[in-house]
Amino acid sequence: MRRENQSSVSEFLLLGLPIRPEQQAMFFALFLGMYLTTVLGNLLIILLIRLDSRLHTPMYFFLSHLAFTDVSFSSVTVPKMLMNMHAKYKSISYEGCISQTYFFIFCTDLDSFLITSMAYDRYVAICHPLHYTIVMSQSICVMLVAGSWVIACACALLHTLLLAQLSFCADHTVPHFFCDLAALLKLSCSDTSLNQLVIFTAGLTAIMLPFLCIVVSYGHIGATILRVPSTKGICKALSTCGSHLSVVTLYYGAIIGLYFLPSSNNTNNKNLIASLMYTVVTPMLNPFIYSLRNKDMKGALRKLLSNKTYSST
């Protein structure tokens, strides 16, 4: 391939999703509806937690940050994908591509750390209920969230700075609907061994280590639940973890399917589907999971609607 200096690469071409032209309008409406549902649903969660004092607890504090991250997560990729679905020339500037990569990695890692913090919160609540108010104090919760933001920012910045040092070949077509880091590295003419090493190391730190912490937390929770003599106590404990377990399954299921279960057939299509799962589908489903399965959230929503109805009469 003809080598091209990095500074001369002004844009990348995004191939997008493999959709037939006659189906473009249908999928555009579908993804637009999913994106709007994601934004409105997660903003509603933030609003309910903000307005209802009964939801001013550590679990909902983490949930409000997770909802904000999910809105940002989808906003990093979906608007550009929708624009390109109606564009003849599906390009993104070099600066825009690097920025998109940074924010995508940042939101991915931040999601992982926040989900882990929520698992720790459930562990303390069920396994050490008498010490819950001390262990999960406001200062500890703020430190957990702040630490999640700092580490996620550092990981994303490290990947982005290393990416910006690479030179790219003449072919700058990205077989994806956004600037995926792995896809960009395949286009580089430079040695990417350091980038691959950082991906492996940061992946262990930001994805696998939090996942192992979640597994250990729920292992302890399961052992504690089995020691509860009453069926009512078991059902109560499971109800507090059901929503979070659903989110963990959706989020890490897509990531494990993408990065840890390689397939030789239709690999690129599989990558696109897995990416859609955790950038579009999972952020959209989170509000439904936490509202439909959570009595406190449903109570806060009814209270908000009743206040609106009362004020309008």
List the domain boundaries for the chain.
11-297
Q: State the Cα–Cα distance between residues 284 and 115, nearest whole angstrom.
A: 16
Select 11-297's CATH number: 3.20.20.140, 1.20.1070.10, 3.30.230.10, 1.10.490.10. Answer: 1.20.1070.10
- Which residues have CB under 8 Å from 15's CB, separation 6+? 90, 173, 174, 175, 176, 177
Strand-strand pairing, 91-93 and 168-169: unpaired
Query: What are 168's two structure tokens?
Result: 């790219």
* Mean pLDDT confidence for 159-184: 90
Question: What pLDDT sits at residue 262?
Answer: 55
Whether the model clears a pTM of 0.85, i.e. scores above it, the answer is: yes
As a whole-number percent, the residues of the chain with pLDDT over 70 amount to 88
Q: What is the pLDDT of residues 192-227, one digit of tens each?
A: 999 999 998 988 888 889 999 999 999 998 888 888
Helix axes 138-164, 58-85, angle to 10 degrees: 30
Tell me the C-alpha to C-alpha distance, in Å, between residue 245 and each of 116, 179, 211, 218, 252.
11, 29, 12, 9, 10
What is the separation of C-alpha 226 from the centre of its chain, rounded to a whole number of angstroms?
A: 31
Partners of residue 188 on adjacent β-strands: 168
User: Does position 250 have pLDDT exceeding 90, yes or no?
Assistant: no
